[in-house]
Each structure stands twice: as structure tokens, then as C-alpha cells.
């Protein structure tokens, strides 16, 4: 008998998706299935979790769930089995939810893992030994460690964390779950007991408080049968209904009066602060009001012509570098504005100015109704485009519906089935919009947190940390420290009890041929001479192309069913002088400049952005193609298929006729400079900055955009403008335009619903006429795509004996990367072996995972193959003890090379399967599949059949091959003669002395603490392009164990287990 009763089922009207939901009549366990075609099946196992304190109980329990279950009492069993079945696990904890994820390449792996995963959720072992290593402990040297402790140590002193936590504690009642710090403050983690965690699990992890959400293509009847069988093993519902967290308790109401608080955060640089303003908004069930306040948030902050950007950011002597809006989707929606890069003396002024601007928007004559309606239309199109590519939009809604929706599941259809609320809002009058702004942002009282940097607090925290270490050592003494060592060793020995091979192998092995990968159709156009093996020469779209006159442009069409098209213009900067590359952070703003048409008409920048927003969903000047190939400048626009010719027209206007206006350029430079203090607070970014500035030369676009590298440059540009020498800057920018925007160095890739385009060739005629070569000899051979390794410095080539450290102004953890050379040919035989060895050593539950993360030395330790740069890297992410983490990595590698530790056959098989999963995930939707096809064939020159070739090679490698490749490439990562080391370290770190003892020549760089705001025109500051492009590394091979891309860095305030 099936216990699950269907509550709702419907087709989504705007996406290829059907949603069904069931509830167990026996236990109350809920199941939501989001059916959409994909080779990837995603599972989200959501628990509504609520606490009234800062103990971190939800977050610590999240970590311990992965340490084994009653049926499978082995640390890492779930992840090891997941690796074998083309699957990966992860989890996040937010203030109102803990969600465990399972991502599988195909249904076969998912159905194997599903009951095992659920067993871990309902029946975790929760041993004292796991709690000791995973949550918090003191080691034999008196140092505080633990995986969760390391995680919180890495963020607790950051400005965003301090301001957001203060907002929550001011906006919500003291006993409200929303005011709790769910990650766990370090002070609370120190005294948290395992019994508290066990009690929390018992109270919260009940069947009627858990919902399984699944997306992808699965066998529905088989799913229901499996879930029913598992449900039969769970405790039935009690006669007394449990209270739903956050729902069946008093709801927080808006404050009775507005509150303004100044909160210090530690930083040596006191020039720039930040502000967060929060309101408690509409109830979660008020769908129309919730969408309306979202649209208001976009109206306020989404583009350079949004209200707050116009008055705070896009002005001379900017009052902020960025304004962003976000929501906390609680029982009543939290509405949050974050204003970054505010000159510290102006914090109060900016807060007051925002309130005044909002007040003004409550009168119809001041509200820009045309722009508001444009925002509604663009947000609707963006939402449709996102749901077309990514099912997580629906899974997020399903989780929120489980936590806050009606018990009959009627809200699921109400919140996802159609977009009628967008249609309603598109007809709203100015009076209606003013009413919403007045109700939720003006009459509704707010909390403003003014984050003020404090060098005194920074010093005090450093002294406190030193004092605590001394106190721990004094209190414990040698005998106590020895006991700590033994206690930790005993716990690690228990945690690392080997998993019997047969327990894993008895599950069998999945068949990779059953994974249904997505296919897209490729077509050649114009002067395209690419060596591409899969161009179609048949079908309806081919016939359309055949009948159109050719255009002398290199065109590549990648077609699949879609309402949208992405147009990528990829260029090369090889013909540019190296000194011009530093301007690229200005060039990235080219879509926000005025335009002067050939007929003399001047279009102000505000009208340009408005027009772009009418016709395009996305427009940007950036590097590479989807975070790959950072040495290639690129332009990307996304639009509805019917706006094809409009999109091309806009490319012509922006790239050819934009005006390098002195006022606009000055504002852009000031924003760049003022954002530097915030970037210097990002330790990981500073580590990568140090690496890029050292291993790449001045012809590298990546180095040219580095924020520290361009610090003086942008101050010099500002000085030129003030001395009446802007014409020199304009001349340089025009030279970049002349060299970059020419068909000689352009390739165009059209990806999406290409077969729906009208005149796919002839529409580009005008584009060609505008950008065709002038006949001058500035052409370069774009067939030889620039590779990052070509721009290495002498130090980057030799890669030997040197270590470069940079001090963190306020951070408490270490970020480190070690590099050694590897081949740069994607088809080199060693690359395949490096990929497998990297996954074996650095994947989930790998030797590095267990030896470094599992012992609390760092939150993450990873191996990456950076083939474009020609490096293998070992990274330590949020290191609590970087020296010991590095030494442990070296010991693990040396032990394998010496033969002391044998390569485990089962784990080697699991590593191969983990790579299959990563390959499948890289093509989880049609767009990603199309981009992967293009990059494999054209940019990496390894052919579209590369995946099959790659997998066939992996299955031939033996343990002997692994020892050989680890000795050849991984040992050199830790060898003085063959490695470079870069790190961003806290002031109390002993890493410099440690590396000197290893023989490295250590250089130390102190970040300029006082980066004066741009409007003060001191030459000691500076900045760079966006942070994301600085730290993204596009070169990784498919087997990379990525550094933890943890949403703790965002104001979303989730805690990822980063499995």
C-alpha cells in the first residue's frame, strides 16, 4: 500500500515543468516532484529548524549528519557511496531551514542513494568523537579548531556578517528564531555539548517536519514505491499535531519606531563603511504584495538608472559604490537594502538621504511609472529565462511552501503555476505603486545599521586572540595539552574507522551509458573556418541558412528550443599595447555611457540604459565565455528571439558610438577607487591578487584587471582629469575601441533559440559594415586563441623556491595556494591521469578531506588542474592552522609515493565516478551543454567526443599509474625546487617562519591600510574590476575539487557544508 496521498499536480505555464506533491497519511512526510528534462536529478531534503539562541545547533547538526547513520555507522559512507554512483552531497543551514542536497547524474544513482541519505537524516550516529573533530576542539598546541569553528572563524569578523547579524537582532524579538545566529558564534560553539545537538535532532528531525523535493527526470511510480517503503519504517504521526516552526508561534511585527544603530567592525582602513536597512514586510501568502515589493527593490537598485544608484552611486564624489536589494523569505518577508562603499563620515547622511528619497516616491509626480513598468517586464523575462535553465527556482519555492505554505499544499500552485501577478503589476498606476512604497518602506518602521570600520576594534580583537591562546596554554599546562592531543587522536582514530569495501561494492556499480546527456545542434555561418566536427548540414534551420546571403563574419550557431538567445562576441586583445589593458575596468562600463549617433543625435546614458533594458535581458562587457578563458575580452547580450535585430543594433550603438564622456568616466573611476577597501577585506581575493600579479606579466588581461595592480593607475587617471588632461584618457580609450571592436579580432557565438531568428545571416550585414577592418595592419590570427600560460613571468615559468604572503587587515583565517607546472595541452596523456589523481586526493572523503578538513585544520583543502595557466594547485580555504594543513598535505602525498600508503582500488573507482558526475553537471541544462560543446571543440581543441574519450582513458588507469603521476606532479607541489606559495594571512600567523624553515624565500606584503576615498584624491588608494572575475578560475579540469564556494560570503547568510 502506498502511504503517499497526492495533494496537488499541475503544469507550469511558462516553463517545461510539471509539479506534483504528496503527503504521507501515516507519518506526515512530504514529497514534491518537479518534473523537467535533465540528465541531472537533484534532491533537496528540507527540515524546518528553529532556535532562540546563537548556539548554532542547526548548523552543527547539519555537519554531524554526514558522519554516519545507525544502519551505516561510518564517517563518509554517504559521500563515498555517492561518489561511486555519480552523485554528490551538500547542505546549507539558514535561519529557518536546514536543507540537504543530493545531485546525481541520472535516476539510477539517485534511487540508490535516496534511502541511505534519508537514513542519515533520521538516524544519525551523533557520536562524541564526531562532535569533537567536526564542531570544536583544542589541539595539543592549545589552538582552537573544528570544521564548524573554522568556518565561523573565517566570517565572524567580516563587515557583512556583523552588520547583518545586528540587523536581525534589532529587527526581530530577542526570543524570535529569526534573531538567532544559526551558524553558531565562536563563543557559543566553545561550550556547545553533543547532548544539546542530540536533543535538537530529536525535536526537529521528525517525518512531519521534513519535505523531500526532487527535480529532474525520474520514474515516478518507482519513486513513490521507494518513499512508501522507507515511510513504513518511520514513527507514525502522534495524535497531538506538532507545532510548525515559525508558523505556530507569535509572529514578529514591524518595529514600533525606526531604529538607527552604529555598529563597529574590525578593519585597519577606516575610510569606507556600509549600511544595511531592513523592514518587516508582507506576509508570505500575500503573493501580489511580495512581488510588488520585489519590483520596488529592483526599481531602487537594479541598474545605473535605478533611483538609489542615480542619487548615491552614479554621481561625482560617490556616496556609495553599490546598492543591492534582497529579501528574507520568512513568515513575513524581510526587505533589505545593502549600501556598500560608503565614505565613513557620510554614513548618517546616506541613511537619511535614502529615507528622504523613499518618502518622495510616495507622491505620483515623483515616481517614474515608465521605468517601473520596464522593471516589471524585464524581471518577468529574467524569471522565465532562469526557470528555463535552472530548476532550483522551483525547488526554492517548494521549500518555502513546505515551511510557510498552507497544509493542503494549495500555495504551491499559487506561487509557481503562472505569472499572472506580473501581468497585474504591469497595469498598475503610479498611485498604486506609491501606495506600496508608502506602506512597506515609509510608514513601515525600519532598522538601519551603520557599519563603521574600527582600527581600534581590529587591534583589540588581535590582542584578544593572542591572549586567549596564552590563557589556554597556561590553564591546561603541558599535561592538559598532552591529554588534548590524546583525546583528539582517539577521536580521529574512531572517526576514520575504515568502511568495509563490501559495504560499498554490494550496492553494485551504475552504468554511465544510462545518463541521458543533452544534445544541441551546431551550424556554421559566414567566414567561420573552425575545425568543428559536428556542424549540421540538414534540417529546417540549415535550409534557412542556405538560402541567406553570406556575411563575412565568423558566426557559430548553437540551436535548441528556447524563447531566448545569448549572443557572445569574443575578441582578442593581443594587438593592444600592454599599458592600455589596465583600462579594462572602465571598458566594462561601456553599456552605461552616452551615445553619439552619426547623425549627431546624442543619447544620454540614462536613455541608453533604458533602451537597453527594453530590448535586452542581459548586457555586459567581460572576460571570456562563462568564466572560462579570462584572457579574452567578450561582450554578451541576452534577448528574446523576436528582439534579434534590436540586439544587433544596440551592439553597434554601444561598441561603435558610445562616448567616453569626461563626467561619466570620472564617476566610474571614483567608484572603482572607492570599492577597494571592501575588496581588501576579502582574504581569498587578496591571495589570488598576489598570485596573478606575480605569475602573469603586464600583457595579461587578468593581471591588468587586478585591483591591487591598478591601484595607483586609477588615482593617476583621476589626477589627470583634475589637471585638465582628460583628452589623454579619451585617446587611450579610443585606441582600445579601434583595436578591439573590429571583425579582424571578433568571433560571434549565437546560442539558444537560433532557429526562431529572422534573417540569421543578413541581420549581421550592418554589424559587419560598421566593424569591418580599416585595412590597417593591426590584424591578429585569432585561430591561435591566447592562452593564459603564454603570459607567465620568469617567476611563473621557473615556479621555484619563492613564497609570497600578504597580511589580512582583519581576517582570522588563512587562504593559501601552492602551484607547480603541468602540461597545457588538454589532450596530453598526463592530464587525464592528473584529473583522476586530483579527484582521488582532493575529492569528498579523500585523503586531503579526511586529513585536513576532517581534523579541523581548515574548512577546505583542494586540488585543481589549471590547464590554461599550466599549473596544478593545492589550496587551503579558511585555514585555522595553515602550517599543519600544508604539512599534512605533504605527508599524505609522500606516504603514497613512498609506498607506505597504498592506492585504494574502491576509492579509485569512486574517483572515476565522481568525475562522471562533474562532467554531467557541467551539462545539466541546454545552455550549459551548448557552451561546453563550443569550448571543447573550439577553445580547448579537444573535440566534442572528448567526454567519451576522457572516460575511456580514466577506466584504464591503475594504482601504479596513480603513484607515477602523484610522484611526477603532486610531490612537486610541496617541494621547494618546484613550487610557488601564495597566502593571505592574519597578523598572528606563523606561516612566514614555517615556510622559511622549509627553505622558501619569503616575501611579505602589507596591504595599504589607508586607501583614501576617491573624492579626497589621495594617491594611496585604488581598485579593480568586479570581485567575481578576480577570484573565478576558469581553467579547471572536469575533476577539480573546487574551493568551497560558500554562500557565507553573501548576505544570504546560509552555511554550506560544501561537500
CB 744 within 8 A of CB 780: yes
| Whole-number pLDDT of residue 587 | 96
CB 56 within 8 A of CB 183: yes
Q: pLDDT class for 809, splitting at 50, 70, 90?
A: confident
| Whole-number pLDDT of residue 1059 | 33
Read off the pLDDT of each residue in 180-202 and give the average, rounded to a whole number: 97
Read off the pLDDT of each residue in 366-371 and give the average, rounded to a whole number: 96
- The full DSSP string for 512-530 is GGG------EEEEEET---
| Whole-number pLDDT of residue 808 | 84
Read off the pLDDT of each residue in 122-146 and give the average, rounded to a whole number: 95
- For residue 658, with 0-12 CB atoms within 10 Å meaning exposed, 13-18 middle and 19 or more buried, which class applies? buried
- H helical segments located in 405-527: 410-416, 420-425, 430-437, 455-495, 501-505
- Write down the pTM of the prediction: 0.91
- The full DSSP string for 106-153 is SHHHHHHHHHHHHHHHHSB---HHHHHHHT-EE-TTS-EE-HHHHHHH
| Whole-number pLDDT of residue 1 | 66
What confidence tens digit (pLDDT) does each residue in 37-56 have? 888 999 999 999 999 999 99
| Whole-number pLDDT of residue 296 | 98
SS3 395: helix
HSE of 582, CA atoms in CB hemisphere, 13 A = 21
Read off the pLDDT of each residue in 704-715 and give the average, rounded to a whole number: 95
| Whole-number pLDDT of residue 1019 | 27
| Whole-number pLDDT of residue 1032 | 39
What confidence tens digit (pLDDT) does each residue in 887-918 have? 999 999 999 999 999 999 999 999 999 998 89
Q: pLDDT class for 774, splitting at 50, 70, 90?
A: low
Q: Is the pLDDT of residue 1026 over 50?
A: no
| Whole-number pLDDT of residue 919 | 87
Read off the pLDDT of each residue in 689-704 and give the average, rounded to a whole number: 96
| Whole-number pLDDT of residue 247 | 96
CB 327 within 8 A of CB 335: yes
Q: Which of 619-633, 723-737, 798-812, 1014-1028 has the highest mean pLDDT?
A: 723-737
- Picking from 867, 880, 910, 902, the residue whose alpha carbon sits closest to that of residue 1040 is 867
| Whole-number pLDDT of residue 648 | 98
Contacts of 417 (CB under 8 A, 6+ apart): 10, 11, 12, 13
SS3 307: helix
Q: Is the pLDDT of residue 593 over 80?
A: yes
Inter-CA distances, 764 with 652, 947, 1043, Å? 10, 34, 41
CB 851 within 8 A of CB 841: no
Q: Which helix (H) or strand (E) holds 104?
A: strand 97-105
- Picking from 860, 837, 818, 830, the residue whose alpha carbon sits closest to that of residue 972 is 818
Cell (9 digits) for 350: 546616506
Read off the pLDDT of each residue in 544-570 and give the average, rounded to a whole number: 93
If one counts every other C-beta atom within 10 angstroms of the C-beta of residue 518, the result is: 20
- The full DSSP string for 474-489 is HHHHHHHHHHHHHHHH
What confidence tens digit (pLDDT) does each residue in 725-750 have? 999 999 999 999 999 999 988 999 99
Contacts of 577 (CB under 8 A, 6+ apart): 735
Q: Is the pLDDT of residue 1030 over 70?
A: no
What HEC string does 1-47 produce? CCCEEEEEEEECCCCCCEEEEEEECCCCCEEEEEECCCCEEEEEEEE
Read off the pLDDT of each residue in 908-930 and give the average, rounded to a whole number: 90
CB 630 within 8 A of CB 641: no
| Whole-number pLDDT of residue 115 | 97
Q: Is the pLDDT of residue 1012 over 70?
A: no
Length of the chain equals 1059
| Whole-number pLDDT of residue 744 | 86
| Whole-number pLDDT of residue 1043 | 30
For cell 567592525, the residue is: 265
Cell (9 digits) for 394: 522551483
Task: Give me the chain's average pLDDT, please.
Answer: 91
SS3 960: helix
What confidence tens digit (pLDDT) does each residue in 635-691 have? 999 999 999 999 999 999 999 999 999 999 999 999 999 999 989 989 999 999 999
Distance CA 680, CA 499 (A): 44
Q: Is the pLDDT of residue 495 over 80?
A: yes
| Whole-number pLDDT of residue 198 | 98
Q: Is the pLDDT of residue 218 over 60?
A: yes
Cell (9 digits) for 964: 607515477
Q: pLDDT class for 293, splitting at 50, 70, 90?
A: very high
Angle at 882 between CA 878 and CA 886, to 5 degrees: 120
Inter-CA distances, 840 with 83, 686, 843, 844, 911, Å? 11, 29, 6, 9, 5
What confidence tens digit (pLDDT) does each residue in 328-368 have? 999 999 999 999 999 999 999 999 999 999 999 999 999 99
| Whole-number pLDDT of residue 1039 | 36
HSE of 544, CA atoms in CB hemisphere, 13 A = 14
Distance CA 1059, CA 1055 (A): 12
Q: pLDDT class for 548, splitting at 50, 70, 90?
A: confident
Buried b (16+ CB within 10 A) or exposed e, 411-422: bbbbbbbebebb
Contacts of 697 (CB under 8 A, 6+ apart): 578, 703, 791, 792, 793
Distance CA 495, CA 74 (A): 7
Phi-psi region of 684 (alpha: psi -120 to 50; beta: other; left: phi over 0): alpha
Q: pLDDT class for 989, splitting at 50, 70, 90?
A: confident
Read off the pLDDT of each residue in 510-521 and give the average, rounded to a whole number: 85
Inter-CA distances, 428 with 364, 378, 383, 1017, Å? 12, 16, 20, 45
Q: Is the pLDDT of residue 1038 over 50?
A: no
Buried b (16+ CB within 10 A) or exposed e, 841-859: bbbbbbbbbbbbbbbbbbb
Q: Is the pLDDT of residue 998 over 60?
A: yes
Greater confidence, 1019 or 472? 472
| Whole-number pLDDT of residue 943 | 82
| Whole-number pLDDT of residue 781 | 58
Strand partners, 1036: 866
Q: pLDDT class for 776, splitting at 50, 70, 90?
A: low
Domain boundaries, the chain: 4-157+164-248+487-493
Relative to beta strand 97-105, strand 40-48 is: antiparallel
| Whole-number pLDDT of residue 1033 | 39
The CATH number given to 4-157+164-248+487-493 is: 3.30.830.10
Q: Is the pLDDT of residue 1013 over 50?
A: no
Read off the pLDDT of each residue in 219-232 and give the average, rounded to a whole number: 95
Amino acid at each position: 500500500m502506498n502511504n503517499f496521498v497526492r495533494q496537488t499536480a499541475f503544469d507550469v505555464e511558462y516553463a517545461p515543468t510539471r509539479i506534483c506533491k504528496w503527503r504521507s497519511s501515516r507519518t506526515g512526510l512530504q514529497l514534491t516532484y518537479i518534473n523537467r528534462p535533465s540528465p541531472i536529478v537533484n534532491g533537496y531534503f528540507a527540515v524546518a529548524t528553529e532556535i532562540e539562541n546563537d548556539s548554532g545547533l542547526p548548523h552543527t547538526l547539519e555537519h554531524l549528519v554526514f558522519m554516519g547513520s545507525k544502519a551505516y555507522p561510518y564517517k563518509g559512507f554517504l559521500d563515498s557511496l555517492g561518489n561511486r554512483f555519480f552523485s554528490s552531497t551538500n547542505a546549507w543551514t539558514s535561519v529557518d531551514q536546514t536543507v540537504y542536497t543530493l545531485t546525481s547524474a541520472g535516476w539510477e544513482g539517485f534511487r540508490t542513494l535516496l534511502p541511505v541519505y534519508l537514513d542519515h537524516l533520521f538516524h544519525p550516529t551523533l557520536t562524541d568523537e564526531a562532535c569533537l573533530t567536526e564542531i570544536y576542539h583544542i589541539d595539543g598546541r592549545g589552538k582552537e579548531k573544528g570544521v564548524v569553528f573554522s568556518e565561523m572563524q573565517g566570517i565572524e569578523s567580516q563587515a557583512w556578517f556583523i552588520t547583518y547579524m545586528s540587523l536581525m537582532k534589532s529587527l526581530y524579538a530577542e526570543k524570535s528564531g529569526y534573531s538567532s545566529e544559526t551558524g553558531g558564534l565562536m563563543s557559543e560553539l566553545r561550550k556547545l555539548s553533543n547532548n544539546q545537538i542530540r536533543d535538537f535532532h530529536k525535536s526537529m528531525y521528525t517525518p512531519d517536519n521534513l519535505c523531500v523535493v526532487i527535480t529532474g527526470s525520474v520514474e515516478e511510480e518507482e519513486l513513490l514505491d521507494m518513499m512508501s517503503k522507507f515511510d513504513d519504517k518511520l514513527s507514525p504521526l502522534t495524535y497531538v499535531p506538532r507545532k510548525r516552526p515559525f508558523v505556530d508561534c507569535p509572529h514578529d511585527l514591524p518595529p514600533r519606531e525606526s531604529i538607527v544603530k552604529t555598529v563597529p567592525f574590525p578593519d585597519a582602513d577606516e575610510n569606507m563603511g556600509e549600511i544595511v536597512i531592513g523592514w518587516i514586510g508582507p506576509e508570505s501568502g500575500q503573493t501580489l504584495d511580495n512581488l510588488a515589493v520585489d519590483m520596488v527593490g529592483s526599481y531602487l537598485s537594479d541598474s545605473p538608472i535605478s533611483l538609489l544608484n542615480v542619487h548615491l552611486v552614479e554621481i561625482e564624489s560617490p556616496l556609495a559604490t553599490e546598492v543591492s536589494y534582497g529579501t528574507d523569505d520568512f513568515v513575513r518577508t524581510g526587505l533589505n537594502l545593502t549600501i556598500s562603499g560608503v565614505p565613513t563620515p557620510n554614513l548618517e547622511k546616506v541613511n537619511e538621504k535614502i529615507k528622504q528619497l523613499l518618502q518622495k516616491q510616495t507622491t505620483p509626480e515623483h515616481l517614474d511609472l515608465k521605468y517601473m513598468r520596464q522593471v516589471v517586464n524585464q524581471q518577468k523575462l529574467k524569471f522565465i529565462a532562469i526557470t528555463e535553465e535552472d530548476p532550483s527556482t522551483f525547488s526554492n519555492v517548494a521549500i518555502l511552501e513546505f515551511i510557510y505554505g498552507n497544509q493542503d499544499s494549495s500555495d504551491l500552485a499559487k506561487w509557481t503555476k503562472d505569472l499572472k501577478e506580473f501581468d497585474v503589476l504591469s497595469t498598475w498606476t503610479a498611485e498604486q505603486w506609491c501606495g506600496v512604497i508608502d506602506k512597506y518602506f515609509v510608514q513601515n518602521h525600519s532598522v538601519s545599521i551603520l557599519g563603521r570600520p574600527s582600527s581600534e576594534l581590529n587591534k583589540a580583537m588581535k590582542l584578544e586572540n593572542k591572549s586567549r591562546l596564552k590563557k589556554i596554554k597556561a590553564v591546561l599546562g603541558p599535561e592538559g595539552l598532552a591529554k588534548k592531543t590524546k583525546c583528539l587522536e582517539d577521536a580521529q582514530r574512531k572517526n576514520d574507522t575504515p568502511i568495509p569495501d563490501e559495504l560499498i561494492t554490494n550496492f553494485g556499480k551504475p552504468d554511465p551509458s544510462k545518463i541521458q546527456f543533452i544534445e544541441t545542434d551546431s551550424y556554421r555561418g559566414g567566414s567561420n573556418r573552425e575545425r568543428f566536427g559536428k556542424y549540421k548540414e540538414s534540417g529546417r534551420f540549415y535550409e534557412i541558412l542556405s538560402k541567406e546571403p553570406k556575411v563575412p563574419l565568423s558566426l557559430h550557431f548553437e540551436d535548441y528550443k528556447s524563447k531566448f538567445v545569448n549572443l557572445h562576441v569574443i575578441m582578442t586583445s593581443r594587438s593592444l599595447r600592454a599599458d592600455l589593458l589596465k583600462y579594462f575596468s572602465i571598458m566594462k562600463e561601456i553599456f552605461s555611457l552616452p551615445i553619439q549617433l552619426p547623425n549627431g543625435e546624442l543619447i544620454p546614458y540614462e536613455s541608453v540604459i533604458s533602451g537597453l533594458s527594453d530590448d535586452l535581458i542581459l548586457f555586459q562587457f567581460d572576460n571570456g565565455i562563462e568564466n572560462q578563458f579570462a584572457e579574452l575580452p567578450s561582450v554578451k547580450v541576452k534577448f528574446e528571439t523576436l528582439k534579434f535585430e534590436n540586439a544587433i543594433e544596440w551592439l553597434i550603438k554601444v561598441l561603435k558610438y558610445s562616448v567616453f564622456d569626461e563626467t561619466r568616466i570620472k564617476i566610474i573611476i571614483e567608484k572603482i577607487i572607492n570599492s577597494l577597501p571592501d575588496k581588501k577585506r576579502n582574504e581569498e581575493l587578496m591571495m589570488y591578487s598576489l598570485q596573478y600579479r606575480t605569475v602573469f606579466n603586464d600583457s595579461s588581461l587578468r593581471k591588468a584587471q587586478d585591483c591591487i595592480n591598478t591601484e595607483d593607475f586609477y588615482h593617476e587617471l583621476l589626477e589627470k582629469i583634475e589637471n585638465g588632461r582628460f583628452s589623454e584618457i579619451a585617446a587611450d580609450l579610443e585606441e582600445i575601441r579601434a583595436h578591439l571592436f573590429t571583425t579582424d579580432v571578433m568571433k560571434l557565438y549565437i546560442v539558444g533559440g537560433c532557429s526562431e531568428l529572422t534573417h540569421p545571416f543578413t541581420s549581421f550585414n550592418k554589424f559587419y559594415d560598421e566593424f569591418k577592418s580599416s585595412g590597417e595592419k593591426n590584424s591578429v590570427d585569432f585561430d591561435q586563441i591566447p592562452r593564459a600560460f603564454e603570459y607567465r613571468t620568469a617567476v611563473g615559468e621557473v615556479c621555484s623556491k619563492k613564497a609570497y604572503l600578504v597580511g589580512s587587515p582583519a581576517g582570522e583565517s588563512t587562504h593559501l595556494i601552492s602551484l607547480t607546472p603541468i602540461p597545457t595541452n588538454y589532450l596530453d596523456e598526463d592530464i587525464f591521469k592528473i584529473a583522476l589523481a586530483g579527484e582521488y586526493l582532493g575529492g569528498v572523503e579523500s585523503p586531503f578531506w579526511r586529513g585536513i578538513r576532517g581534523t579541523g585544520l581548515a574548512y577546505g583543502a583542494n586540488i585543481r588542474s589549471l590547464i590554461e595557466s599550466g599549473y596544478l594547485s593545492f589550496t587551503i580555504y579558511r585555514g585555522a592552522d595553515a602550517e599543519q594543513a600544508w604539512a599534512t598535505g605533504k605527508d599524505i602525498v609522500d606516504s603514497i609515493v613512498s609506498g607506505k600508503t597504498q592506492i585504494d582500488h574502491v576509492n579509485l573507482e569512486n574517483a572515476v565516478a565522481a568525475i562522471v558526475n562533474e562532467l554531467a553537471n557541467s551539462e545539466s541544462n541546454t545552455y550549459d551543454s551548448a557552451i561546453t560543446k563550443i569550448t571543447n571543440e573550439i577553445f580547448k581543441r579537444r573535440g566534442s567526443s572528448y567526454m567519451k574519450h576522457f572516460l575511456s582513458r580514466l577506466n584504464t588507469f591503475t594504482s601504479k599509474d596513480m603513484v607515477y603521476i602523484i610522484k611526477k606532479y603532486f610531490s612537486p607541489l610541496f617541494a621547494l625546487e618546484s613550487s610557488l606559495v601564495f597566502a593571505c594571512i592574519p597578523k598572528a600567523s606563523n606561516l612566514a617562519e614555517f615556510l622559511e624553515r622549509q627553505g622558501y624565500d619569503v616575501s611579505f606584503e602589507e596591504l595599504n591600510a589607508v586607501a583614501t576615498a576617491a573624492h579626497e584624491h589621495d594617491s594611496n588608494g585604488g581598485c579593480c574590476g568586479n570581485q567575481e572575475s578576480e577570484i573565478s578560475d576558469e581553467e579547471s579540469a572536469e575533476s577539480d575539487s573546487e574551493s568551497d564556494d560558500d554562500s557565507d560570503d553573501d548576505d544570504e547568510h546560509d552555511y554550506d557544508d560544501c561537500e
